[in-house]
Structure 1
Amino acid sequence: MAQQLSGKRYAEAIFELAQENNQVEQWGEDLAVVAEVFEDADFSALLKHADMPVANKLNATASVLAGVNPLVRNLVDLLVSKNSVDTISGVCAGYTELLDAHLGRQRVEITTAVPLEQSESDNISSFVTSLINSEVALTTKVDESILGGLVIQIGDRLLDGSIKARLDGLRNRLHTEIAASGQ
């Protein structure tokens, strides 16, 4: 929780800096690179290792993030040198939220049982855009357990059109009817 709050504070500060420099989208792209790099569990573990000298950690981040804005790298270096590697994902997520709000964009996650074709993804994106009357940043994931259909997560709203949800609803109705009939 403390790292989330810390990450959010860092995100707010760097968003303000990016706005002052008219680079909010560029910083968003750079932070997406940072987030992807730090999703690698081995790389993160290496940077968290207590016996590894800070200079070696900073050299590792400098080589991996060579193409990233120097100010973004400085932030990463600061967090690495303060042993706050776990805060980096919160900074990236917090910045993305601020950027989306700034651009009037809504994050939408689509879950399907099988991978979507690009045309299907585009159709869903168009549908959701018209539904919420906002630009959409669509991400997709595959979860075979939903069996079919799709699940759309828009912020804190969930539209569950999966076969699994329908079967669960049917099972619950059957249990209710059996219980009501006294059998």
Structure 2
Amino acid sequence: MLNIQLARKYSRAIFEIAQEEDKLVEYGKELDAAREGLESVPQAIEFLSNPQVEPKVKKDLLKKCFEKELSQNVYHFLLLLVDKHRFALLPAITEEYRALSNEARGILIADVTTASAATKKQQKAIAEKLEKVTGKKVELRLHENKALIGGVVVQIGDRRIDGSVAGRLATLKKQLLANE
């Protein structure tokens, strides 16, 4: 719980800076790029999170990797995480930042699960329908689950829309069992 609160605190800090500079999207991309780059080398996050490693050594690594790649504020934010021994929170911070940024820009994230991969045309149709229903811009996060048999399940926040064959079969089963 403490880690979630700390991640929120740090993500809120970089979010406010990005908002002041009108660079919500850019900072989000940079944070994601830094996270992905570091996660591509499994030992990197462990190294940067290890309290036994000197901060100067960690900062030297970050300097070699990101000083010329990231904006000054995002780069210094990563250095701050090293100074405060919070680098292990980077994945949670980037997720929280994305949520704050999306909220500020009026974007909803919809987790869309289908039995097989949705085509571009289907993705566009789903996004348009959800935008019409919610009145906001919707970005899809796609998932596959063969157990659905067919159809789609959409999750936006705590709201769930089950239009899957498996969901309909489960509802039918409940109704039949209730009538016994």
TM-score, length of structure 2 as denominator length: 0.84
Find the counterpart in structure 2 of residue 26 from structure 1.
26
Deviations 1:132-154 (Å, cap 9, x if unpaired)? Answer: 11111222122223232111111
Alignment correspondent of 1:16: 16
Residue type of the alignment partner of 2:136: S
Q: Which consecutive residues of structure 1, in runs of 5 or more, have no partner in the other structure? A: none
- The Cα of 1:113 is off from its aligned counterpart by 1.7
8 Å CA contact 2:48, 2:88 repeated in 1:
no
Provide the secondary structure at the position in 2 that maps to 1:115: coil
Task: Give the corresponding residue for 1:48.
Answer: 49
1:69 and 2:61 matched: no
Looking at structure 2, the residues matched to 13 and 139 of structure 1 have their Cα atoms a distance apart, in angstroms, of 26
Answer yes or no: is the 8 Å Cα contact 2:109–2:139 preserved in 1. yes
Q: Which runs of 4+ in 1 moved over 6 A?
A: none
| CA deviation after TM superposition for structure 1 residue 105, in Å | 1.2
Post-superposition Cα deviations, 1:107-136, rounded to whole Å, max 9, x if no partner, equal: 111111211111111111111111111111
Paired residues, number: 178
Instruction: List aligned pairs for 1:32-181, cutoff 5 A.
Output: 32-37=32-37, 39-40=39-40, 42=42, 43-50=44-51, 52-65=53-66, 66-177=68-179, 180=180
Q: Which moved more, 1:28-37 or 1:154-163?
A: 28-37
Q: Summarize deviations over 1:51-77 as a string: whole Å, max 9, x none.
A: 544444334434444522221122122
**CA 1:147–1:37 in structure 2 vs 1: closer, same or farther (change >3 Å)?**
farther
Q: Is the 8 A contact 1:3 1:86 kept in 2?
A: no
Which shows bigger deviation, 136-145 or 149-158? 136-145
Q: Sequence identity, in percent?
A: 25
TM-score, length-scaled by structure 1 = 0.82
1:12 is matched by which residue type in structure 2?
R
Structure 1 residue 85, shift from structure 2 partner: 2.6
Cα 1:41–1:167, aligned 2, differ >3 Å: closer, same or farther?
farther
For residues 60 and 171 of structure 1, the distance between their equivalents in structure 2, rounded to whole angstroms, comes to: 58
Unaligned stretches of 5+ residues in structure 2: none
